[in-house]
Amino acid sequence: MSLPLHFLRPAAQGFAAGLLLAVAGCGVSSKPESAAGASTQGALQAAPEVRYEVQRANVAMAKRVAYPMGLSAPRPAPIAARDSISAGYRDEPREQYQKLADNPIHSVAEAPVSTFSADVDTGAYANVRRLLNQGSLPPQGAVRLEELVNYFPYDYALPTDGSPFGVTTELAPSPWNPHTRLLRIGIKASDRAVAELAPANLVFLVDVSGSMDRREGLPLVKSTLKLLVDQLRDQDRVSLVVYAGESRVVLEPTSGRDKAKIRTAIDQLTAGGSTAGASGIQLAYQMAQQGFIHKGINRILLATDGDFNVGISDFDSLKAMAAEKRKSGVSLTTLGFGVDNYNEHLMEQLADAGDGNYAYIDNLREARKVLVDQLSSTLAVVAKDVKLQVEFNPAQVSEYRLLGYENRALKREDFSNDKVDAGEIGAGHTVTALYEIVPAGEKGWLEPLRYAQAKAPQQTGKQGELAMLRVRYKAPEGGSSRLIERPISAQQPAKLAEASPDLRFAAAVAAFSQQLKDGRYTGNFSLSDTAKLARGAKGDDPYGLRGEFVQLVELAQSLQTQAPKAQAGNAPQAEAQPVDMSQLQSRLE
């Protein structure tokens, strides 16, 4: 006998809340699953509708803890509709993420040079926000520190010497380790008004397969693309290509003045069928060549969940195809949508291979940020193959580690090799990189070597320099690379509180990113400390992005179980312990 959903809802919500209280009452023990827990799991597997209501109840309880009365929660991404959850192949989450180890610690005596590619993607932050708002902590692969840090605007210096971007550096004490310092490197590209952009030839490539038949899928894609249509100029042109079991052209290259025609084509899209993503990409590149604008912006915007299952679907082949097609002068931007079956690994790497950028759209506010507020950054490239290299002064620094950019690492010799691809920077983009360094003479992470001959740091005429920063880039039209060099001063404020609000806020985001993983380097610095640091560094927050971040940290704190932090070099992290309800109750009062 099956009961209507409205009969199940109160029972499911009450059961979820009761289950949380029961688990919390177990104190610090971590026993195997009880019979009640096993029966609960079976019930949820048998009735997806009940699972949906339990999830709703858990999210509601977590948010009541994270946002006491008088505080508003960040605008959530919508939870999947009940009819979406009950669809067969969506019952089991199949989200895919790239698993990368954190960057290692380096000794300056052995490896004084660090080299990596610039990255302006921000999709990981929006995706982490979506997961937290749905009531779950993100998997470690979903957390890319550099994308969380780069999501936020910072007040960096603009270029003054004719180069496409300005360079800012700052040094301050680390908030989580008294023996280390944080070095912030910031790049700010010159901005351009949309009216000043070159004519654009855009191809909307839309996934209309069955996996997009949900609120977070095709309906949100259609609303997102119509936001961009409103920004088109008469000299721009748009094509529309869709793919499911097969690909087809819905709209030939059409002038931006025909907005009604473009909107009508978007409104007529419906979802259903399998996902032949590779054939859709190939057809989109054909349409981009058909409408190609010499010295213009030629770009494909791929809107999908990345769940390719027909035709070429293996990761390496798709990435190789995008890398080959970029030689034609057409770039590829990926816009991620959807839940449960979202292939984040593919989306991020396709954009990288296609000389584009990657964003995840979890709501219309994020769509407006990417395709309206930051349209110039999304479409117009001011520098290609941007590489950064830092050479540390052994007289000032003994050890260092780069925070994030694990999948952007380059060899030292790649820096001067113009054949090695690197990231692109759009108009108005900012890029932030953080290093945690150990000053010479301070206690570091690495044990001293028994058989190495101790050498005093060589003193040079550059004792006031912490490091040398080198940035290499190409003009948008290509050609030989150009070099920018900036010495980094060793001067720093005595206290973190004396550093700029931008550095302190970036440090809070970096701490949060590490805490969402294993927190092996953040020591006893807690999520509560992270929220406090970010709250004190909000500064001018016109769009409320920094305030929203503080609320996300508090939400994560209410969702995260209490577990001993694993210290660097120690044994693996201990098993997570149940949440302390006394702490939760104190926050509710």
Q: Nearest 5°: CA angle at 521, between 515 and 524?
A: 70
Whether 73 and 556 have beta carbons less than 8 Å apart is answered as no
Of 206 and 24, the one with more pLDDT: 206
Question: For position 238, what pLDDT does the model report?
Answer: 97
Structure tokens at 466: 């912490």
Whether 64 and 555 have beta carbons less than 8 Å apart is answered as no
Q: 3-class DSSP state for residue 5?
A: helix
What gap in Å lies between CA 239 and CA 254, rounded to an integer? Answer: 6
How many Å separate Cα 371 from the centre of its chain?
17
Domains defined for the chain, CATH in brackets: 106-192+382-442+461-545 (2.60.40.1230), 194-379 (3.40.50.410)
Summarised one tens digit per residue, pLDDT across range 498-553 is 999 999 999 999 999 999 998 999 999 999 999 999 999 998 898 999 999 999 99
Q: Identify the residue whose tokens are 């949900």.
A: 214
Compute the Cα dihedral for 61, 64, 66, 72 and give only its sign.
positive
Q: What is the DSSP letter of 372?
A: I
Question: For position 319, what pLDDT does the model report?
Answer: 83
Confidence tier at 278 by pLDDT (50, 70, 90): confident
Question: For position 163, what pLDDT does the model report?
Answer: 86
Of 166 and 456, the one with more pLDDT: 166
Above 50 in pLDDT, residue 27?
Answer: no
pTM of the model: 0.78
Instruction: Concatenate the DSSP letters of all residues of 117-168 into one string.
Output: E-----HHHHHHHHHHHTT-PPPGGG--HHHHHTTS---PPPP-SSSSEEEE
Q: What is the DSSP letter of 528?
A: H
Whether 101 and 395 have beta carbons less than 8 Å apart is answered as no
Instruction: Concatenate the DSSP letters of all residues of 201-222 into one string.
Output: EEEEEEE-SGGG-STTTHHHHH
Distances (CA, A) of 471 to 73, 166, 431, 483: 40, 11, 12, 6
Closest CA to 370 of 381, 382, 358: 358
Summarised one tens digit per residue, pLDDT across range 48-99 is 344 434 444 454 555 444 444 344 444 444 333 333 333 433 444 578 888 8
